[in-house]
Structure 1
Amino acid sequence: MIFAINEINRNPDMLPGVKLGYKIYDNCGTMDILRAALALLSGLKGEISGSSCSEIESVQAVLGHSGSGPTIAIEQVLARFHIPVISHFATCACLSNRNEYPTFFRTIPSDYYQSRALAKLVMYFGWTWIGAIASDNEYGLSGITAFIQAARELGVCIEYSELFVSTDPPDSLQRIVRIIRQSSSKVIMAFMSHREITLLATELFRQNVSDLQWVGSDAWITDPSLAESEGHSILVGSLGFVVTNTVIPGLEDHLRQLHPSQFPNSQFVRDFWEHTFDCSLNKTADTQWKLCSGSESLQGDQSYFTDVSELRFISNVYKAVYAVAHALNNLLTCKEGDDPSYNGNCPDTKNIEPWQVLQYLNTVNFTHKEGERVYFDSNGDSPARYDLVNLQTTRKGGMEGVTVGIYDASLPDTNQFIMNNIPIVWGNELNKVPESVCSKSCLPGTSKVLQRGRPICCYDCMPCPAGEISNLTSKDTD
């Protein structure tokens, strides 16, 4: 975010005579997020560093949160004051409800599209008998509900559907494991965060349950922390969709220039610096670490922090900053008659209000320098395009997501799902597509008879009556 703001402030073609400022609230997950939202409402005067710039008291837009739950809470507060909220990672389809969340935008596609893409993926490989597990929160419940609906429309049957969260009592996880062990389906759709999937995979590994093919949501399918878990081998072969990768020129150099002196009050920078260089920034602290010399540098660092090869979600932050900048730029360069508000009169540029920025965000439409078009539909959603990734083992024993296909919701329905012929690694080290059906296809000469009280995917194959024949596979009875 800081990189994008600095880049915009240096660009003479954007926001002439205006500099963007920012205030970041981030306390590694322990911050009361509603308190942060109220602090932003209270005004930023005196908190923006600078010299001669005219400081605006009210915030013009809020970027974040990464989770759907906190974002819902923030939006419900800020929407009352017509302040736009733009998330890079909150994917809950519920946030597309403009009546409930009138000032919400996102630079990541809604789970509505991901759920339908996952249903098409399952059907593509012939998996008509599957289990479904989700986080017991708004993200998981909304996502798995949409997936089950789309899957059933395609003729896929759900053997079981279960919910749990990482904070549940241990017996909740054991109950899920028992259900998996006793089920006949071999494919599991997991719509959850990396915390839940790590707990589940670790427990399955401990109980030697490995004959599974996982299909995952974007919240965990490429999370780097999975490789550190005890049960990560269970997840090798998983398939799932993530937003497309991109390149942000100059970002790596920006990250390598980081130094604690730039952010003296940031606990994150302090902890990261001390951990990276095994030294202490506190001269008075009683610690076994040596004192940092001040000459430490990230120029030769090869850590996750400076790795810019995977910018799938980080690029969404970059796009969010530029969306606000383009909205402000269009507002400040408005010509009479071009204003998107009802009266068509251009705003007073000396007294910009958040509701005006909100109106201009609705009409933002630009292409950033990597060629990707950025805009929002009437629900504040971004266009849906995903990479299909397959978790494969690296030479160092870790895991990486290898792109094996794409899904583009803007294409005709029959062409939205495209494989790229890169070999797929399957779960349980199988060398072919695993099978997960309730009943195998009936051979010619027999016909399907549904099993009473069971889903349509479960049937018996009965010989044709005397004098009748069936020369088709899985012929239904009349």
Structure 2
Amino acid sequence: MPDLNCTYRPPIKCNGFDPRAFRWAQTMRLAVEEINQSAELLPNYTLGYKIFDSCAYPLTGQRAALAVLNGLSEDDSPTCSSASPLLAVIGESGSAQSMVVSRILQPFRIPMISYFSSCACFTDRKNHPTFFRVIPNDDYQVKAIAQLLVHFNFTWVGLVRGDHEYGRFAVQGLLRELQGTKVCVAYQEIIPMLYNRQRTLEILQVMRSSTAKVVVVFSTEGELTPFLRDYMTQNITGIQWVASEALITASVFTASEYYPYLGGTIGFGIRKGQISGLSDYLRTVNPQMYRNNTLVKELWEALYGCDPSLSSGSLLPSCSGQESLLEQHSAYMNTSSPRVAYNVYKAVYAFAHSLHNLLLCQPGSGPFQYNSCAQSNNIYPWQLQHYLQEVTFNIAGEEVNFDLKGDSISYYDILNWQRGMGGNIEYVNVGLFDGTKPAGEELLIQEDRIMWAGHQSEASCSHCVFTFIHQMPAFEIL
């Protein structure tokens, strides 16, 4: 994003490149192109878009939101002459970033749909009146995790979370759900947002010394990656990880070296869907087609460790930019069971169907003052939000809609990390959580399919009640 005045110095720079998130951006492009080519959805209309990289930082997300609101130049823009061309926002991914963007968009009544922000805090319609999401609210996830812990009689557990709203609200919700059960929390630890090795070692010492070998983690892969490097260096094993949806499908941890430490992890994943043509679409992205796109250049650097731009100052070996994208590049090319990408896809179509319904409005029968409709050449974001609140459509056999708080129906797949044929980690579906079922009937687990930590087919007795009897006086405060 250009800095026209050359005065802005962001306190946090983007650190590294995330091929998985780049896949989400390409999924958005694919959905927009499909809609623009459709003869049934928004015929004779063309959707346009801008994509900004928040680098998973709230401050960078704030800058991106302000940039898309203000435009790159205001010199020739008449003030308040018509509605803004910006009708809606897809995003953000992390809850901390969405919190900032939602508050910026609120005064302009611009709706946004998040594909990956699950924090329960967004149900507050007073503070987030224009926020919608196609990922379930964390209130359902913590209920599912609590039911899983109770189901397997895990008595003492540790909690590890990231230093952000997502982790904070999730832990608060889980503690609330565990009240009145036999599950007790042995410790709570916070992973710093900015890597701090000394703090990491302190957390690892707590985990090593505690006899609570079940650890529930609410974290994203970005902050957990350096944490797990130290975890593996310290050679800590025997931990039964229970992971949240932000982590359970992170392909960065599927390499074979992670299995001795993370094998057996169980958690709740976002419902998967099918996106026809996504794999072929991703293969069309290469440095030859997008010569001036720095993100495509970074994709090549991340996947191949080479520089396709042939720049003389690069520290990486040069390459042609015509290398073939393979399935082995799973962080980018993994389309076998899209989950977050499928949410991006649904979010784009939710806006498209809402806009389509808005344009079908018949004068005199509209939902606005004096039964009026929105003007097709001068649509306001709040008018689109009205239709977004009421939209219902089907995609890939799934019904998509939103409740009054902007939430969607809660479904989770229960995933278990097991050893694959090549020694790598594979996600095995071992059950589901259906939030539409009556209380107490939401959880369905296929226990015989689960592989636990240490490559055990049954839950280890390190989880059993009698192991912790000698510790109980130390935790009477709970």
**107, 112, 137: which is aligned to 1:80?**
107
Distance in structure 1 (CA, Å) of the matches to 2:309 and 2:284: 21
After superposing the two structures, state which structure 1 stretch, 130-139 or 158-167, moved more: 158-167
Q: State the one-letter code of the partner of 1:161.
A: Q
Question: What is the Cα deviation at residue 191 of structure 1?
Answer: 1.2
Deviations 1:94-132 (A, max 9, x none): 111111111111111111111110000111111122111
2:58 is the counterpart of 1:18 = no
2:441 is the counterpart of 1:409 = no
**29, 33, 41: which is aligned to 1:2?**
29
Over 3 Å counting, the alpha-carbon distance change for 1:182 and 1:289 in structure 2 is closer
Q: State the one-letter code of the partner of 1:33.
A: G
Q: State the one-letter code of the partner of 1:206.
A: T
Within a 5 Å distance, the mapping from 1:15-414 to structure 2 comes to 15-26=42-53, 28=55, 32-43=60-71, 57-167=84-194, 169-228=196-255, 232-260=259-287, 262-273=289-300, 281-282=308-309, 285=312, 289=317, 292=320, 296=322, 298=324, 303-304=329-330, 305-336=332-363, 339-341=366-368, 343-368=370-395, 370-414=396-440
Deviations 1:172-214 (A, max 9, x none): 2222222222222221111112234334443343333312211
Distance in structure 1 (CA, Å) of the matches to 2:243 and 2:188: 15
Question: What is the Cα deviation at residue 419 of structure 1?
Answer: 1.9
User: Is contact 1:43–1:59 with CA below 8 Å preserved after alignment?
Assistant: no
Distance in structure 1 (CA, Å) of the matches to 2:53 and 2:29: 13
CA RMSD for the aligned pairs?
A: 3.1
Question: What is the Cα deviation at residue 342 of structure 1?
Answer: 6.0
Question: What is the Cα deviation at residue 9 of structure 1?
Answer: 0.7
Deviations 1:228-271 (A, max 9, x none): 59655211101100112211112222222224355343211123
Q: State the one-letter code of the partner of 1:395.
A: M
User: Between the two proteins, what is the percent identity of the paired residues?
Assistant: 35
SS of corresponding position for 2:371: coil
Partner of 1:472: none
User: Is contact 1:326–1:364 with CA below 8 Å preserved after alignment?
Assistant: yes
Question: What is the Cα deviation at residue 16 of structure 1?
Answer: 2.1
Distance in structure 2 (CA, Å) of the matches to 1:159 and 1:73: 33
User: Is contact 2:153–2:464 with CA below 8 Å preserved after alignment?
Assistant: no
Distance in structure 1 (CA, Å) of the matches to 2:269 and 2:175: 19
Over 3 Å counting, the alpha-carbon distance change for 1:420 and 1:339 in structure 2 is farther
Over 3 Å counting, the alpha-carbon distance change for 1:297 and 1:198 in structure 2 is closer
Q: State the one-letter code of the partner of 1:430.
A: Q
Q: State the one-letter code of the partner of 1:400.
A: E
Distance in structure 2 (CA, Å) of the matches to 1:422 and 1:371: 29
TM-score normalised over the length of structure 2: 0.84
SS of corresponding position for 1:308: coil
Q: State the one-letter code of the partner of 2:445.
A: M
Q: State the one-letter code of the partner of 1:13.
A: E
Partner of 2:7: none
Q: Which has the higher contact order (CA 8 A, sep 6+)?
A: 2
Within a 5 Å distance, the mapping from 1:415-434 to structure 2 comes to 415-420=441-446, 423-434=449-460
Alignment size in residue pairs:
441
Q: State the one-letter code of the partner of 1:63.
A: I
Over 3 Å counting, the alpha-carbon distance change for 1:246 and 1:101 in structure 2 is same
Q: State the one-letter code of the partner of 1:193.
A: T
User: Is contact 2:308–2:318 with CA below 8 Å preserved after alignment?
Assistant: no
Over 3 Å counting, the alpha-carbon distance change for 1:427 and 1:328 in structure 2 is same
SS of corresponding position for 1:154: coil
Over 3 Å counting, the alpha-carbon distance change for 1:276 and 1:222 in structure 2 is closer
Over 3 Å counting, the alpha-carbon distance change for 1:159 and 1:340 in structure 2 is farther
TM-score normalised over the length of structure 1: 0.84
Distance in structure 1 (CA, Å) of the matches to 2:45 and 2:122: 32
Q: Which runs of 5+ in 2 are unaligned?
A: 1-27, 75-81
Distance in structure 2 (CA, Å) of the matches to 1:349 and 1:272: 39
User: Is contact 2:248–2:266 with CA below 8 Å preserved after alignment?
Assistant: yes
Q: State the one-letter code of the partner of 2:412.
A: Y
Larger Rg: 1
After superposing the two structures, state which structure 1 stretch, 410-419 or 200-209, moved more: 200-209
Q: Which has the higher helix share?
A: 2
Distance in structure 2 (CA, Å) of the matches to 1:253 and 1:191: 33
Q: Which runs of 5+ in 1 are unaligned?
A: 47-54, 442-447, 458-478
SS of corresponding position for 2:51: coil
Distance in structure 1 (CA, Å) of the matches to 2:372 and 2:448: 54
SS of corresponding position for 1:415: coil
